[in-house]
Amino acid sequence: MPTAAAFGVFLAASLALLVVPGPAVMYIVARSIDQGRSAGIVSALGLATGSVILIAAAALGVSALLAASPTAFNVVRYAGAAYLLYLGIRTALTKPAPTTETHAPREPLRRIFAEGIVVNLLNPKTALFFFAFLPQFINPAGNVRVQIVVLGLTFSSMGMLTDSIYATVAGAMALRFRAGDRLPRVRRVAVSTTYIALSALALFVHPTKL
Is the pTM here over 0.85, yes or no?
A: no
Domain ranges of the chain: 4-209
pLDDT at 202: 61
Give pLDDT, residue 204: 65
Cα–Cα distance list, 188 to 32, 96, 146 (Å): 12, 8, 44
Contact 137/7 with Cβ under 8 angstroms?
Answer: yes
Straight-line distance from the first to the last Cα atom of the chain, in angstroms, rounded to the nearest whole number: 26
What ranges in 94-143 are assigned the alpha helix state H? 109-121, 124-133
131 touches 63 (CB < 8 A): yes
| Long-range contacts of the stretch 107-110 (C-beta < 8 A, 24+) | 107/35, 107/39, 109/38, 109/39, 109/42
Query: How many angstroms separate the Cα of 208 from the Cα of each of 43, 78, 79, 121?
Result: 29, 17, 20, 20
Q: How many CB atoms lie within 10 A of CB 14?
A: 21
Three-class HEC string of 70-86: HHHHHHHHHHHHHHHHH
Q: What is the pLDDT along the chain (210 residues), one digit of tens a residue?
A: 677 888 888 898 888 878 877 778 888 988 888 888 889 999 999 999 999 998 888 888 766 666 677 777 677 678 767 877 887 788 778 765 544 444 555 778 899 999 999 888 887 777 777 777 777 787 777 787 888 889 999 999 999 999 999 999 888 877 766 444 455 566 667 667 776 876 776 666 544 444
Alpha carbon of residue 170 to chain centroid:
15
How far are the Cα atoms of 2, 87, 123, 197 from residue 76, in angstroms, in the given order? 32, 17, 7, 18
The predicted pLDDT at position 44 comes to 93
